[in-house]
Amino acid sequence: MTTVHICPKCEDQVQISQPARLNEIVECAGCHCELEIVALNPPVLALAPEVEEDWGE
């Protein structure tokens, strides 16, 4: 089964397959950010750290 959560970045719906694992990374279909499951009962999603790009700034 899956449970439905809200992306903390873009507020789109994010589905998580259960049972979920702590620190598992899922990707939001709305904004393509990586989300980490930081708590399980209930599941809590947080933005996973990412590498910055520099195109000549």
Partner 1 sequence: MIRVVVVGAAGYIGGELLRLLIGHPEVETVAAVSSRFPGRRVDGVHPNLRSATDLLFCSADDVEECDTAFLALPHRTAMAQIDRWIARAKQVIDLTGDFRLGDPEVYRRYYGSEHVATHLIDAFVPGIPELHRESLRSADLISVPGCVAMAGVLALYPLAVRGLVEPTAQFDARTGSSGSGATAGAANLHSVRSGAMRVFAPTGHRHEAEISRHLGIAAAMTATGVEAVRGVQTICHATLRPDVDTSAVRRAFREQYRNEPFVRLVAHQRGNFRYPEPKILVGSNFCDVGYAVDEEAGRLVTIAALDNLMKGGAGNAVQCLNIRMGWPETLGLSFPGLHPI
* Residue 15 binds to Zn ion (criterion: CB under 5 A): no
- When binding is defined by CB under 8 A, the residue of 10, 22, 25, 44 that contacts partner 1 is 10
Choose, by CB under 8 A, the member of 34, 40, 44, 46 that binds partner 1: 34
Out of 26, 28, 37, 45, the only residue in the binding site for Zn ion (CB under 5 A) is 28
Query: From CA 8, how far away is CA 36, in angstroms rounded?
Result: 11
Give long-range contacts, CB 8 A cutoff, 24+ apart: 47-53. 47/8, 47/9
Q: Name the site residues for partner 1 (rule: CB under 8 A).
A: 9-11, 27-28, 30-34, 50
